[in-house]
Structure 1
Amino acid sequence: MSRSNKRHLVTVANPKSPIAESYRALRTNVDYSAIDDDMQLVMVTSAGVGEGKSTTIANLAVTYAQMDRRVVLVDADMRKPTEHYTFGLSNIVGLSSVIAQQAELDQVLQPTSVPNLTVLTSGPVPPNPSEMLGSRRMDALLQELRGRFDMVLLDTPPLLAVTDAQILATKSDGVLLVIDYGKVKREIALQAKASLDKVRARILGVVMNNVKRNAKDNYYYYYGSGDIPR
């Protein structure tokens, strides 16, 4: 894929902007959310589609890489993957290929233009994503990634669409829930949170997307824990 097709990442294009600073604040909050526990494998999801989860995790990955941490971003949304578009990478093989034993991990890990940041794209869309993500091979893959990288970040499908995110939440050290403030009703947000509670996932906080701060800064991401605001 041509690099001209890459999506805009504010943490790369404008690292001194208020929005980029919000992503760095999110990174700090994640780090401090577990002082005594290892917070190495973090999953980002949303209630529904189009809430900004993939953009959030891509920018979060960049901020970790900018701190000289070895980061791998795994596109575990094998139904509607986007991270290969974001970073201008090939998606001929990827996560699904490794789980199906059609490729080795070293064949699918792709470096990006951001130093220290590697991406594992989703690969071809399989007929059984949930079964793949819940498999022992997926467990073994995540364990190997833990050994190779300082941070493992998982981009997953929305919670209320399929069970994939719930499955991966049980394998993660923590979960960030992205909510579009101007789009998602409180009841839907609480339903998404309840689906994580059901599998006893560790919810690190909620990233509120499209909260208008002022005319100059337009929109920003706000991280918070606890109850979902109205």
Structure 2
Amino acid sequence: MLIVSFALIGIIAAAAASLLMPKTYTATSSLFVSTQNVDTSAELQQGSAFALARVQSYVGLARKPQVLDPVIEDLGLNMSAQELAKNVQASTSRNTVLIDITATDSSPEMAADIANGVVASLIASVADLERPTNGLPSPVRLTSVDAAQPPSSAASPNTALNLMLGFLYGLAAGLIVAVLRHVLDRHVRTEADLRRSTNLPLLGGITETQVPRNSPSPAVLSGSGTDSFRRLRTNLEFAALGRQMRSLVITSSQSGEGKSTVALNLALSIAHSGQKVLLVDADLRLPSVANATGLEGSVGLTTVLIGRITLTEATQPWGSAGLSVLTSGPLPPNPTELLGSQAMEELVQKLETDYDVIIFDAPPVLPVADAAILTRHTDGVLLVVGATRVSQHNLSNSVEQLTLAKANVVGVVLNRIPRSGPDANTAYRSEYGAASLQPMDNDGAPASPVAEAEAAILRESRRGPSPEHAARRGTS
């Protein structure tokens, strides 16, 4: 797209320049150099050699003030000889005695008059300069052989040539910018970029979806989008093989990578597998679960931690799959201290006895230390990586911070993979395609978008992988 855009810009710029450039016309007149007063063939041969030797001198003389001043006077031009010389060119072909005088002007008639005037003035000047001192006629004769005529079309601007040059220059600029973008860009765009930053296992890929404009809330994916989270759920089970994985923190390097969307859809997918799941909004700075699910956000995690209400009173059911949600509650002035408190550790232990899986939607790693503090009380961390949203450097820093916090990072999820274009991952685009987003509600009605999404997940969970998927899984 960069190359095509720059090429189009070059063509448009060339077209605009061609329209704005003033038109100029070019007229050409020719004259022939010969010798006169020749009687024998030997004298004719010597005269021809003499004329050929003098041609280059006459070409240079054509742009001198001695030749141009009479032209200015005869035509009434308001310019000097030096200025007129810029619009007059004299040339000759090799081994010929023909001289071409070319004049350029904004008027086609004036261009022809200047060319013819220069020829006449040059003939007179040569006759005067080459006249012998004994009063005999000049041995050299200049004869006009092709008088200039007013041109019918402008010589400049050459629109076709300008468009071609604009296209070539734009194409070259686009290629340079595209190469520089590829060389200098350090954003994570593909799995290869991900591997340059971390060796953590890649547990899944989520194709970019169409989020409604001005709507920051995450949404439930329906249709083929549920397949990506079903695969992610299965890969998490393999990643946790041989060790307990009851509580899982979902976080990202920075905001805008889609961690809340992944947390909500993953919790819903696990709930549809028959497990008792609780989604906890542990982002006590910019919570989003309450808005995404349409649940009450005035009570939640913070009110439970300070003992204002019980866990049972703060937990709210959502949807028809048995998913429970604990929103963030009122925002505290000290979120980091609250998440690292003894009350938070005791709450996590209680949740692990009441639920099969607890999903924590945590703040990003780089801006604040909340996620790293929260990992002290949980079994694992799933790091969401937004394709084209985070740089390789920031991703490496996030992994390093989680490692220093001794967090059990089970893997990464490459989220928001472009559906098309040079950064699209064709494997994930076919395996992890996401359908359009559906709004969320809490009525549990079978005809609602949420119920449709849940039903799609449930059907695919019970049906199992298709033969094509099984074949691909066996191949990999």
Do they fold alike, i.e. is TM over 0.5?
yes
Could you tell me how far apart the structure 2 residues matched to 1:8 and 1:126 are?
Answer: 26
Q: Does residue 66 of the first structure (1) align with residue 266 of the second (2)?
A: no
Answer yes or no: is 1:8 the counterpart of 2:219: yes
For residue 226 of structure 1, what is the aligned residue in structure 2? none
Name which of 352, 359, 375 aligns with 1:169.
375
SS in structure 2 at match of 1:207? strand
1:129 counterpart = 2:335:
yes
1:23-70 deviations in whole A, cap 9, x for unaligned? 111111111112110111011000001110000010000000101110
Q: Deviations over 1:129-186 (max 9, x none)?
A: 1111001111111111111111011000000111100001122211111111111110
1:206 and 1:30 mapped to 2: Cα distance? 10
Task: Check 1:71–1:148 CA distance in 2 against 1; reply closer, same or farther (3 A cut).
Answer: same
Structure 1 partner of 2:325: 119
Q: Which sections of structure 2, spanning at least 5 residues, go unmatched?
A: 1-216, 435-476
Alignment partner of 2:292 out of 86, 99, 103: 86
| Structure with greater helix percent | 2
What's the counterpart of residue 144 of structure 1? 350
SS class of match (1:73): strand
Residue 114 of structure 1: how far off its partner (Å): 3.4
Give the structure with higher Rg (CA).
Answer: 2
Taking the aligned partners of 2:245 and 2:266, their CA distance within structure 1 comes to 14
Task: Compute the TM-score of the two structures, normalised by the length of structure 1.
Answer: 0.87
Question: 1:220/1:80 Cα in 2 relative to 1: closer, same or farther (>3 Å)?
Answer: farther
Write out aligned runs for 1:1-230 (5 A): 8-10=219-221, 14=222, 16-17=223-224, 19-212=225-418, 214=420
After TM superposition, the runs of 4+ consecutive aligned structure 1 residues lying more than 2 A away are 212-221
* Residue of structure 2 equivalent to 1:228: none
Count of residues in Structure 1 that have an aligned counterpart in Structure 2? 212
Q: Do 1:65 and 1:114's aligned partners in 2 also have CA atoms closer than 8 Å?
A: no
Q: Which has the higher contact order (CA 8 A, sep 6+)?
A: 1
| 2:279/2:324 contact within 8 Å kept | yes
Matched-pair contact (CA < 8 Å) for 1:73–1:120: yes
CA distance in 1, matches of 2:241, 2:338: 32
Q: Secondary structure at the match of 2:230?
A: helix
- Superposition RMSD in Å: 2.0
- Which runs of 5 or more residues in structure 1 are unaligned? 1-5, 222-230
Q: Is the 8 A contact 2:218 2:261 kept in 1?
A: no
